[in-house]
Structure 1
Amino acid sequence: MSANPDRLYELMPVVYRMRDADQGYPLRDLLRVLSTQANVLEQDIARLYDNWFIETCDDWVVPYIGDLLGYSLLPEAATLADGGTHAARLGRVLAPRADVANTIDARRRKGTLSLLEDLARDAAGWPARAVEFYRLLGWTQHLDHQHPHRGGTAEVRDPGVMQRIGWANGAFDPLAHSVDVRRLGSHHRRGRYGIPDVGLFVFRLRSYPVTTTPAYCLEERGPQCFSFSVLGNDTPLFQQPDAEPKPTHIAHEHNLPVPLRRYRFAARGPLADYASASPDLYGPGRSVLVYAPDWPAKGQGVPVPIEALIPADLSSWRYQVPRGRVAVDPETGRLLFPANQRPKRGVWVSYRYGFAADLGGGEYARPVPELENATRFIVHAPLPSAVATPLASGHFATIADALAAWSQARATDPSLRALVIELAESGIYEGAIDLQLAAGEAIQLRAAERTRPILRLLDVRASQPDALNVGGAAGSRVLLDGLLIVGRGIEVHGPEDAEGAGAGPDLCELVIRHCTLVPGWALQCDCDPKRPGEPSVTLDGTRASLRIEQSIVGAISVISPVRRGEPSILEICDSIVDATGIERTALGAPDEAVAYVEASFRRCTVIGQVQAHSVRLAEDCIFASTIRVLRRQFGCVRFCYVPEGSRTPKRFHCQPDRALDAVPAKRQAQESRRVVPQFRSLRYGTCDYARLHDDTCAEIRTGASDQSAMGVYHDIYEPQREANLAWRLQEYTPADADAGILFAS
């Protein structure tokens, strides 16, 4: 397809083009219209050819190619609607392209153990480890036919082996067990260690990188104490999985996204003293790397050599570190330097953490819409390198410098309307930020691709607010993309007249996309919030609309303008709103009964009470606490979990309403206790944050509008992935074997 709009016009003879120029180019304009339609036709013909192949075909063609191969789909695939973003995402789960492409190969390998791991990857997108449980049965071996690699007795003096018994749900258990007569596929009480049992341990948590980010100094513990997490909380370090060498290989610990254990992070020396770190896990391109400039001597420490590391248990911060060494605890994410040899220039770390989805600020691929005709400034963070290089034009050391340069550029050229400030590294950007936009102006503060910059808002003025202040005139917009904001929240201020009443033009829109506004502003070591009662976003006397997408935010506080008018628009989708406790208010007003907003929630998990003027739509959401809506005759709540005692608009297919309607009155109290969301963790900073427990009732785990899970992790489609994998196991499990899915994370 040609991008030249005049390609048909250029084929005309010159004499006709000369005559057309004399008449004002009417023929050229006509042929441009025909050229556009010709491009559409050529593109459609090219797509017809691409749809012949599984690697290049459109998503809707995948089931048809699978049908030619006899690939059986789940019954839910027949109910998919044409078009729609979420229908397309669900279609990719129910008809995985990789699984269809490997159908013939899988049938050739039917009955092999390694095929089950490939099925988990292709059909469900989960890395897995297959285990034949009969190899872990305790039995008397014949002396002429020994199996030394099968399950053995416990060596209680080896803590590394003992740790693997229950770790990762027993996926790496090396010990022998007695026979269990219960079936692995039983719906009641599942057994494991039977002769026909084959377990497929799937790992649902993903390993996300953090690159060259400052470590947090825990000054209350001591200036030699550091945390890998920039928030100061304990976080287990995950490993970077290694690719399996061949298709028939059975996954081991180093091939899977699992947390690092102390005994695996250590390299066992000849004296079994665990005195050094494993070179497979530490170093450039590995799972962990530490930078300490000019430590222990000038010109050293970038990075810290592996010989200086000591794997240790720092859960109590009690460890005597020799000079020239640094202790690292991968299970808590802590570092400890010698008390008499502290790093004076700070510490930077690269590591990996575990999480369930691409949510909030993180170094994952995310679409970033571009502002039209925007000026682009790049801001850099300090790096551990000792070499200082001068900044080129358009590059700045602080956000304040970039905003000052933008003000000068606007004064020189008033036609400038759009600014993009890109934060180039996954470092810390400090300082107060005050964004006051002119009419029609747009400012986008975003992370560079594959980075996670930290915007640390400091308490620089005693007894006064130090938030990220935003204000603007008519038609102005502020967009935040890919940031981690800690220390304070965001305050959006409306215009004020002489009497303090809202008047005149106002900011049009604030968009928060793929960001994390730390609930409670900051974290303790145990992930408890330091300021649990403080909001992350405050709308103070403004009519600006607020849109939050795929983000994690704390509470939202709304202070209404004196001259109200229509309520402000609040749209939240695929996000977590965490008030740090179900008894606190996630959306409300500090001086009124309800927040004067018209709210919409789509695929959200809300931890805390919601008090709003009206709710236009709430869909596929989990509200952990009650909802109180003033205007009930407007809007709809559908396919959501809404606690009893809530005041909402009309509900459709909500829980526990449907469950209570299906049972007699004498059983409703018991049913209401059963149909509740059970979360693995409600503390931001943990790996299982806001994830539903596997024991949660099916009404919630499959209660969304498309039978996925309610809440923020709806688009992962875990029920569909599990059902699709179980469907494949029925076809490819060896004869007389009983295969089952076991969740290791």
Structure 2
Amino acid sequence: MASPRQPLYDRLPEIYRIKDAEQFPAGQLAAFLGILDELPAGMRDNIEALYNDQFVETCADWVVPYIADLLGTSHLSGEPWTLRADVARTVFHRRRKGTLGAIESLVFTLSGWAAQAVELRDRMVWTQHLNHQRPDAGGIPPLTLRRSLGSAVRGGTVALRDPAALAFLGGPFDTFAHVADFRPGQIGVPRYNLPNLGIFLWRLEDYTVPVADPGLIAAQAVAGVGPGEAAAVVRCIVHPQADPMVLFNTHRYRMADTPPNLSHPDQVPGPMPWPRLTSAAEHGNPAAYVAVAPYAAGTLPDAPGAAANGLTLHVIDTVVPPEPAELPPAERWTFRGANLCAWEDGLSPPLAEYEIAIDPDRGRVLFGLSTLATEAQPLADGLFISHTYGFSGPTGAHPVPRPPVTPTASIDRTMGVNALEGALTNIHQATAPTIIEIQDSATYTLDLAAVAGTENVGGVLSLRLAQPLTLRAATGQRPVIRLERPLRLRPHDLTNVAAVDALTVTLEGLYITWDRSAADFAAISTPLVARAAVNRLRLDGTTLDPGGSWQLDETRLPSRPGLALTGDYDFAAADFDAFTQVPEIVLHRSVTGAVLAEESAYSLDVTDSIIDAGSGVGDAAPELAIGSLSDPADGYGPALRLSGLTCFGTARVASVTGAGGIWLHPLRAHDTQQGCLRFSALSGSDDRLPPHHGCIFGPGLDVSFTDDRFGLAGYAQLRQRSDPRLLEQGPGRDEMGAFGYLRTTHKWKNINIRFREYMPVGIRPIRIPVT
């Protein structure tokens, strides 16, 4: 192991460093030796770089094509990670050229997506000769033609009594026979024919929120139960706001296997099929999707590991099913996949004791227990859930790795739901920048009325700040902050010009929503952030819940503004004159509701983000997504700079410049002589634009999202059937919108290029996105 590097100054005897610190000004010797140290340090770094550049795993990005030349590999463009992986596995792929394992490995290497290659000819029905019958299950006909989910069905009829098998019908793990389809191959549609190879792809990433607080937990006794039926139940809704959500499974693959094991029916990053969650079903396999993890009373559960299932139920260890006694307590529960839309009316058949019913399509869990006081209520009081959901990429709040920092304060659920309020107490007295890091994925309440040191003007509360403030999630966590009243920020001392100039507030990795029973949020026009009288407000990987979530009756809740900021910053006249800043609102890979602010009072900088006012494709009367708070109809919002934006709603801005935007509805700039819009998609209806280049216009522009409703897995994800210009004429010749940085189009093209090199002669690949 190499010894740690030491600058020249650190190699001096301690006496010289002490005397150097006593000089005025201090550190003169350190500065001088630092200059002398730059040259050998540069030489050392260059020598180390030369060594690292010999290996594709550690070389600089610009070296990858040169290593590819040594292997005779054609050059690709796109995401650096995929290009590096493609070169690194060149020899592996050449050795396995023409095999299904090589095709799956190519797709994963070039995209990072789970993949399953299927020879569609093996799923075609056949007619058996009467003298040479070959029923798949063997034996003398008539017998069942399938005894396991993995066995093929080449004849016979579909087994309608097997929901677990039917859940895979038409997908990558379909085991039923199909008639021949002679139509040309089409993206997204399997064509069952002799030369066709179906390549099924899971494009959404799976994100697991560890040890989270469910949005609803309730224990209740059940009357009139029969033998073996649950006398008490615990109802649980997984989503932190008790909205419906789709539960995903985690992607558990083994890339090092030969051939690589990249996809398994029960280990792919897609929605859980509810029939597979039933213990008693012939082909049920709940152990691959859900686990019960007991933990000791008085402690907190451990987060699930990297190879965990999509859903982990953390239950207190005092609630233990008695049977079967030979199994560990965590394995004694039974499971059922069910529709829990109307769980108040009970299930048919009724829920049994120590049975857990799961509705993965709605994110609901129902526990059956024997008693209310000794089992149901303790389980409800101590229940935590680690759940998995799907999303296109790290835009918004997700449990992802984050750069390490040294926080000035850390909080977790052991400090209570009001821990954030305590951490912000008297924040106006801070003498240095404050970094508050939340160490878990719990739900915290934030009521400015409970934070000591806040400003109170006529009952309107604002958080006073003397130093920059950062609220962030720890790496791998997604905490939820539930506001009791809108968040308002202002400087503590307007006379300290230097402090006000440096005053920034950063929200990183947080899911910020509101208490739906709070009086301050009774009006749907009330925003989550109502005052930002600071030099800069930065949202980095943060979600300001825009509302509009779907409900069980397929309706949508009303949308709520993310920011609604007044032109006078809510200052009295004297303070308004002293506040000389023009606050900058920065959205970086974030999701928010409408941004309403005044033209000359703010600026707006958006990167790879979504602004959602609740208006989808084709809405005839769209809501205002970016504009003026005081005059929504005729006024204009702040000057907009963008690099990747999907905007659901109308935008009226002072000026606009940047690239990679998708506007489904009119975009109107007040100053058309300033700025330039490039490589963006516009509605073409009532637009008012600055000079523009490489833009495409509607009406008639086919913009198709997997879903345009917040909270669903395919939210704001462009379909492959969208207008090709939308997918290929964005910045960097990739797709437009908030997810352009994922370089999805380049991934598709790189996959096609490699298919032409590695696909066996006569085989036609058909790409079929599953998510």
TM-score range, shorter chain: 0.7 to 0.9
1:151-207 Cα offsets, whole Å, 9 max, x none, are 3332122122223213xxx211111122333454x79x9772222221211110111
Report the secondary structure of 2:638's partner residue.
strand
Name the counterpart of 1:607: 648
Task: Confirm or deny: 8 A CA contact 2:661 2:679 kept in the other structure.
Answer: yes
Rounded to whole Å, the distance in 2 between the matches of 1:313 and 1:529 is 20
Name the counterpart of 1:386: none
Judged with a 3 Å threshold, the aligned counterparts in structure 2 of structure 1 residues 279 and 65 are, in CA distance, closer, same or farther, namely: closer
Report the secondary structure of 2:655's partner residue.
strand
Name the counterpart of 2:304: none
Name the counterpart of 1:553: 592
Name the counterpart of 1:462: none
Rounded to whole Å, the distance in 2 between the matches of 1:509 and 1:25 is 33
Task: Confirm or deny: 8 A CA contact 2:407 2:437 kept in the other structure.
Answer: no
Name the counterpart of 1:198: 197
Name the counterpart of 1:212: 211
Name the counterpart of 2:557: 530
- Select 1:544's aligned residue among 567, 583, 603: 583
User: How many angstroms does 1:609 deviate by?
Assistant: 0.7
Q: Does 1:165 align with 2:180?
A: no
Name the counterpart of 1:282: 291
Report the secondary structure of 2:444's partner residue.
strand
Name the counterpart of 1:515: 542
Report the secondary structure of 1:253's partner residue.
coil
Report the secondary structure of 1:546's partner residue.
strand
1:92-107 to structure 2, matched below 5 A, reads 92=80, 96-107=83-94
Task: Confirm or deny: 8 A CA contact 1:135 1:151 kept in the other structure.
Answer: no
Judged with a 3 Å threshold, the aligned counterparts in structure 2 of structure 1 residues 647 and 330 are, in CA distance, closer, same or farther, namely: same
Which residue identity does 1:604 align to in structure 2? L
Judged with a 3 Å threshold, the aligned counterparts in structure 2 of structure 1 residues 29 and 608 are, in CA distance, closer, same or farther, namely: closer
Report the secondary structure of 2:199's partner residue.
strand
Name the counterpart of 2:365: 335
Name the counterpart of 1:114: 101
Q: Does 1:227 align with 2:237?
A: yes
Name the counterpart of 1:482: 509
1:46-445 to structure 2, matched below 5 A, reads 46-74=48-76, 77=77, 90-92=78-80, 96-141=83-128, 143=132, 149-152=151-154, 153=156, 154-166=158-170, 170-184=171-185, 192-217=191-216, 225-244=235-254, 246-248=257-259, 251-268=263-280, 277-278=286-287, 281-284=290-293, 285-293=308-316, 307=333, 309-317=335-343, 318=345, 319=347, 320-337=350-367, 341=372, 343=377, 345=381, 347-367=383-403, 370=405, 376-381=408-413, 398-404=419-425, 406=427, 410=429, 416-433=431-448, 441-445=467-471
User: How many angstroms does 1:530 deviate by?
Assistant: 3.3
Task: Confirm or deny: 8 A CA contact 2:267 2:288 kept in the other structure.
Answer: no
Q: Does 1:634 align with 2:674?
A: yes
Which one is further off, 433-442 or 691-700? Answer: 433-442
Task: Confirm or deny: 8 A CA contact 2:529 2:563 kept in the other structure.
Answer: yes
User: How many angstroms does 1:267 deviate by?
Assistant: 2.4
Q: Alignment RMSD, CA only? A: 3.5
User: How many angstroms does 1:484 deviate by?
Assistant: 0.5
Rounded to whole Å, the distance in 1 between the matches of 2:289 and 2:565 is 49
Report the secondary structure of 1:65's partner residue.
helix
User: How many angstroms does 1:437 deviate by?
Assistant: 6.5
How many residues are matched?
651
Report the secondary structure of 2:74's partner residue.
coil
Rounded to whole Å, the distance in 2 between the matches of 1:25 and 1:714 is 47
Task: Confirm or deny: 8 A CA contact 2:443 2:481 kept in the other structure.
Answer: yes
Judged with a 3 Å threshold, the aligned counterparts in structure 2 of structure 1 residues 379 and 519 are, in CA distance, closer, same or farther, namely: same
Name the counterpart of 1:660: none
Judged with a 3 Å threshold, the aligned counterparts in structure 2 of structure 1 residues 238 and 290 are, in CA distance, closer, same or farther, namely: same
Rounded to whole Å, the distance in 1 between the matches of 2:196 and 2:477 is 44
Judged with a 3 Å threshold, the aligned counterparts in structure 2 of structure 1 residues 42 and 735 are, in CA distance, closer, same or farther, namely: same
Task: Confirm or deny: 8 A CA contact 1:233 1:526 kept in the other structure.
Answer: no
Rounded to whole Å, the distance in 2 between the matches of 1:192 and 1:522 is 35
Name the counterpart of 2:750: 724
Name the counterpart of 1:467: 486
Judged with a 3 Å threshold, the aligned counterparts in structure 2 of structure 1 residues 31 and 509 are, in CA distance, closer, same or farther, namely: closer
TM-score scaled by length of structure 1:
0.80
Rounded to whole Å, the distance in 2 between the matches of 1:443 and 1:27 is 35
Task: Confirm or deny: 8 A CA contact 2:197 2:765 kept in the other structure.
Answer: yes
User: How many angstroms does 1:64 deviate by?
Assistant: 1.0
1:483-502 Cα offsets, whole Å, 9 max, x none, are 001116433537xxxxxxxx
Which one is further off, 356-365 or 137-146? Answer: 137-146
Judged with a 3 Å threshold, the aligned counterparts in structure 2 of structure 1 residues 163 and 333 are, in CA distance, closer, same or farther, namely: same
Q: Does 1:586 align with 2:625?
A: yes
Judged with a 3 Å threshold, the aligned counterparts in structure 2 of structure 1 residues 40 and 492 are, in CA distance, closer, same or farther, namely: farther
Name the counterpart of 2:579: none
Report the secondary structure of 2:333's partner residue.
helix
Task: Confirm or deny: 8 A CA contact 1:559 1:589 kept in the other structure.
Answer: yes
Which residue identity does 2:613 align to in structure 1? A
User: How many angstroms does 1:62 deviate by?
Assistant: 0.7
- Select 1:688's aligned residue among 702, 705, 714: 714
Task: Confirm or deny: 8 A CA contact 1:375 1:418 kept in the other structure.
Answer: no
Name the counterpart of 1:34: 36
Which residue identity does 1:247 align to in structure 2? T
1:223-250 Cα offsets, whole Å, 9 max, x none, are 9543111122222211122333822256
Q: Does 1:652 align with 2:693?
A: yes
Which residue identity does 1:286 align to in structure 2? N
Matched residues, percent identical?
25
Rounded to whole Å, the distance in 2 between the matches of 1:303 and 1:702 is 54
1:321-352 Cα offsets, whole Å, 9 max, x none, are 34554422123211234698454526421111
Report the secondary structure of 2:477's partner residue.
coil
Rounded to whole Å, the distance in 1 between the matches of 2:244 and 2:201 is 25
User: How many angstroms does 1:735 deviate by?
Assistant: 2.6
Judged with a 3 Å threshold, the aligned counterparts in structure 2 of structure 1 residues 334 and 30 are, in CA distance, closer, same or farther, namely: closer
User: How many angstroms does 1:419 deviate by?
Assistant: 0.9
1:336-381 Cα offsets, whole Å, 9 max, x none, are 346984545264211111111111111112346x5xxx76111222
Judged with a 3 Å threshold, the aligned counterparts in structure 2 of structure 1 residues 55 and 555 are, in CA distance, closer, same or farther, namely: same
Judged with a 3 Å threshold, the aligned counterparts in structure 2 of structure 1 residues 437 and 454 are, in CA distance, closer, same or farther, namely: closer
1:403-462 Cα offsets, whole Å, 9 max, x none, are 22656xx3xxx7x2211111111011013136667676111111111110000113xxxx
TM-score scaled by length of structure 2:
0.77
Rounded to whole Å, the distance in 2 between the matches of 1:362 and 1:29 is 43
Report the secondary structure of 2:625's partner residue.
strand
Which one is further off, 539-548 or 240-249? Answer: 240-249
Task: Confirm or deny: 8 A CA contact 1:239 1:260 kept in the other structure.
Answer: yes
Task: Confirm or deny: 8 A CA contact 2:530 2:564 kept in the other structure.
Answer: yes
1:14-62 Cα offsets, whole Å, 9 max, x none, are 9xx99xx9xx998875553121121012101110111011111111111
User: How many angstroms does 1:626 deviate by?
Assistant: 0.5
Judged with a 3 Å threshold, the aligned counterparts in structure 2 of structure 1 residues 681 and 38 are, in CA distance, closer, same or farther, namely: same
